[in-house]
Structure 1
Amino acid sequence: MATRKVVFPPRRQALYERNRYSPAIKSNGFLFVSGQVGSREDGAPEPDLEAQVRLAFDNLNAILKAAGSSFDDVVDVTVFMVDPESKFETIWKVVPEYWGDAPHPTLTAVGVTWLYGFQFEIKVIARLSDEEGQKE
């Protein structure tokens, strides 16, 4: 069985171990990042929606950085939103703060009924630098 090359962001390994999943896996020159939510250090949801979206991106960026990557390396994005009809505009006004310049990654947006107390989740696939890809 192949060993998974797990990437943990600083100071959050216990949270992932408690919930039994990996924040990100390096494989074949790509980084597959689990869905990131606007959770505080203890895993609790940030109650304010705009702050929750910013915190989700901050948590995502911490994982990307730990893998030697950045949002500029992201090629595919999936976002999940509870009640997107009423929350999309609020969420999407925050996104450009983190998204970067065109060309943008591909995007799939999914409306859901429940995200374990959160309103927004983002998961991505990023390409690793040639150097990172060679280390696998």
Structure 2
Amino acid sequence: MSSPRDVVFPAGRQALYERNRYSPAIRANGFLFVSGQVGSRADGSPEPGLEPQVGLAFDNLNHILAAAGCTFGDVVDVTVFVVDAEKNFERVWPVVMAHWGEAPHPTLTGIGVTWLYGFQFEIKVIAKLPQTLAA
């Protein structure tokens, strides 16, 4: 029998994840594995406009990281998905860089896609969980 997953829910969005039947993040072996985050409003609908949608995706990501005691500085690996990347990359990238922080930066994989369930940008990360001091 496997052990239960150590799920992290950001404040106020648990019902959205339960409705869509996935976990926002799972703690495992010293890491936090975060599901892809999009620029969704509290009701799950897309934020209008590409740049605001990217910013909201980072806000949603940062709420999950904070719920696990992390920040973007703890992120070690990033995957971004961009609809019509050839057209949209130059618009997306400045918003990403505004949230990226200082070097050393996490690893990055960028993927151009044709569809993201009504969204134009998605970010998925793996973060190193902070070490806790032994009592």
TM-score normalised by structure 2 residue count? 0.96
The runs of at least 4 consecutive aligned structure 1 residues that moved more than 2 Å come to: none
Deviation per CA, 1:99-136, whole angstroms, max 9, x where unpaired? 1001100000011111000000000000001119x8xx
Over the matched positions of the two proteins, sequence identity in percent amounts to 72
- 1:97 deviation in Å? 1.4
- Indicate the SS of the match to 1:108: strand
Q: Give the count of matched residue pairs.
A: 133
- 1:95 deviation in Å? 1.0
Equivalent residue number for residue 44 of structure 1: 45
Equivalent residue number for residue 10 of structure 1: 11
- Structure 1, unaligned stretches of length 5 or more? none
TM-score normalised by structure 1 residue count? 0.96
Structure-2 separation of matches of 1:95 and 1:120: 10
- Structure 2, unaligned stretches of length 5 or more? none
**Amino acid paired to 1:7:** V
RMSD: 1.1
Deviation per CA, 1:3-32, whole angstroms, max 9, x where unpaired? 100000010000000000000000000000
- 1:76 deviation in Å? 0.1
Equivalent residue number for residue 105 of structure 2: 104
Structure-2 separation of matches of 1:81 and 1:96: 15
Equivalent residue number for residue 87 of structure 2: 86
